[in-house]
Amino acid sequence: MNPFRNLSVIRKLVQLVAFAFFVYGGVIVGPYLADKISIALPALSCAYDTQAADLCTLIPFQHQMDHRLGTVIANGGNFMMGLMPTLITLGTFVLLFVILNKAFCGWICPLGTFQEFLHIVGQKLGLRRHESLGAETVRRMRPLKWLILVVLVFLFPLLTGLGWLNHDLGDPFCRICPSRILTSLATGDASQVYVNTANATTLVFSLIADFLFGLIIALGLTVRQPFCRICPMLALHAVFRKIGLLRLVKNAKPRCDKCGLCAKVCPMDIREIHTEMNKRDVTFEDCTLCGRCVEFCPDKDVLQLKYLGFPVFSASPAYFKRRNKAQKLWEKTTLAASLKRRAKAGKAAT
């Protein structure tokens, strides 16, 4: 299969370019311009990475809860003035979101990219991978992202602004976010890898952050997208998924019942893509619009990625055949297999 006609290959290329820009963007646009962008465009990458070209939207949300809204509520003042920065951040986020919808997660997010590449490493090392998590595990994990969004991104910072919690809980999500460690490490800056003994809060949060980062590295080798499943950005996206211009659409056919390939290849284990037979819009809350389900759907136009209602990528039997073959070949190519081949060749030669 021509790799440039393979959606997964195209997506990986986009991910690599996005990773380079959002992690090392400061090198290209200069730290000052990067600094300006980081203030003016509150979305996407991590503020702790000094080379980054922009800033994750979750940081301003936490700071605005702590320093603006909470402060206005606690000390009195114009409530709308306190809320306005949050609304502006939300507005900027929604503007970008309308264009990309949840494709940010599947195509742009540096942490998502890192986890996908970890999984490739695991596959190439010949580690036993878990193609899907159990339905019960997935069901139990789903509320976690909402809990993290509500408690760590909005509630704790707001309570900090009200003066009820100590200042170290003003940006609690950033304190445990693996992306903070990843993106700063990617620029050769180890300053975000630490155990902070300043007080009990910083100690607990830094221990969680480091442990979580290590856990994700190891799990990412065998489990697809381990952190994405609890990421509050996914939850934030889910809130607005109905207004995004890019959608995953299903034209269910009776054959869908017996197939289920779409759910099997889904990196987020969304079984509903397979089981849903009535709804046309199947951009479920955990969907990252990666398009894998469309790629591996063997029936014509059953699954489609649509932009503004126009199909941009549709399931087709011909594509499925080529893609399936390419996937099998890709999965056969592992370090263990090549070592085995080499050993066999060596034996045959002697």
Q: Contact residues for other proteins (CB under 8 A)?
A: 30-33, 35-36, 38-40, 47, 50, 127-128, 130, 167, 170, 190-191, 193-199, 202, 206-207, 210-219, 221-223
Helix, strand or coil for residue 320? helix
CB of 97 to other proteins, least distance (A): 22
* SS3 of 74-126: HHCCCHHHHHHHHHHHHHHHHHHHHHHCCHHHHHHCHHHHHHHHHHHHHHHCC
Closest CA to 297 of 331, 345, 246, 263: 263
b/e sequence 15-40, b meaning 16+ C-beta within 10 Å: beebbbbbbbbbeeeeeeebbebbee
Cβ proximity to other proteins: between 89 and 283 the closer is: 89
Cβ proximity to other proteins: between 88 and 329 the closer is: 88
Residues in the chain, how many?
Answer: 350
Cβ proximity to other proteins: between 82 and 291 the closer is: 82
Please give the helix or strand (H or E) that residue 252 lies within, else none.
none
Tokens encoding 98: 């309308």
CB of 5 to other proteins, least distance (A): 33
CB of 243 to other proteins, least distance (A): 27
Please give the helix or strand (H or E) that residue 230 lies within, else none.
none
Cβ proximity to other proteins: between 30 and 317 the closer is: 30
CB of 325 to other proteins, least distance (A): 24
Rounded to an integer, what distance in angstroms lies between the CA atom of residue 166 and that of residue 172? 11
CB of 211 to other proteins, least distance (A): 4
CB of 58 to other proteins, least distance (A): 15
Cβ proximity to other proteins: between 175 and 250 the closer is: 175
CB 200, CB 84: distance < 8 Å: no
CB 70, CB 63: distance < 8 Å: no
CB of 287 to other proteins, least distance (A): 23
Closest CA to 302 of 311, 310, 290, 294: 294
CB of 266 to other proteins, least distance (A): 17
Cβ proximity to other proteins: between 51 and 316 the closer is: 51
Cβ proximity to other proteins: between 60 and 244 the closer is: 60
Cβ proximity to other proteins: between 200 and 339 the closer is: 200
Cβ proximity to other proteins: between 1 and 193 the closer is: 193
Which letter does DSSP use for residue 55 in this model? -
CB of 30 to other proteins, least distance (A): 7
Sign of the dihedral through C-alpha 304, 305, 307, 312: negative
Residues in CB range of 65: below 8 A, 6 or more apart:
86, 153, 154, 157, 158, 160, 161
